[in-house]
Copies of this chain bind each other. A is one copy, B any other.
Amino acid sequence: MSTDEPRSARRRLSRDRIVDAALTSIEEHGVDQMSMRSLGRDLGVEAMALYRYVSGREDLLEAVVANLLNGFVERVEAAETTSWQEYLQHVAHEIRHIALANPTAFPLVVSRHPAAPWLRPPLRDIEMVEHVLATLCARGFTDDQAVDTYKAFTSFLVGSLLLEVSIKTENIAAVEEPMNEGSADIPEQDSSDDADLAQAPHVLRMRDRLSQDHSEAEFETGLESLLNRIEHTVSH
């Protein structure tokens, strides 16, 4: 954008720049590795400078989550869906897209304490909750039906996606490639694994199938099944 800047540095600080850098760092090195001090280093600044823009690490993580969800409602509204089924499908895919684009940061969405703690499940963006409830009511749901649907839907969504990203990230920030340094004198490559596996013939036999990733298809199947279930209970 600008003329020249050393690394990713000093164009003057701003809250947005800090939050972006935090998200990048989280996705690259894991949330534990993202410290105020490392973030300062990334931004070419001392850690203390960040406190002008965020009130602390917790606040920064909140901001990262908010940033993740940014523009969600707008994108959903732009879709112009006709049935509530189509609407919920769209919401689900939109959030799944966010989760897959930010697999390491996504769990923060559910682990950070929510804006409205009394909301169960605690999806932290009230704007989104409001949109879902309003849409369902506009499609003829009673309040009770809307609430039940909201709960079942978010449970499914959060559950599936947390699992999916936990698969996708494996373990970022774990060991970070010590690479053995070429020295190959440690015989057992992961002793406990193979020992356990010897006791688990079925796991061993189905290993190939178990390791295949069909998250996409499973997500679609689960979602459709959920919508069918809701459809059934809504029409008594």
Contacts and interface: CB of A to CB of B under 8 A. Distances in A.
A127 B199 contact: yes
A193 B114 CA distance: 10
A229 to B, nearest CB: 5
Interface stretch (A74-82, A84-92, A167-175, A181-189): A167-175
Interface residues of A, number: 64
A100 to B, nearest CB: 15
A225 interface: yes
Contacts of A113: 170-171, 174
A229 B218 contact: no
Interface of A: 58, 107, 110-111, 113, 115-122, 126-127, 129-130, 133-134, 137, 143-144, 146-147, 150-152, 154-156, 158-160, 162-163, 166-167, 170-171, 174, 192-193, 196-197, 199-203, 205-207, 209-215, 218, 221-222, 225, 229
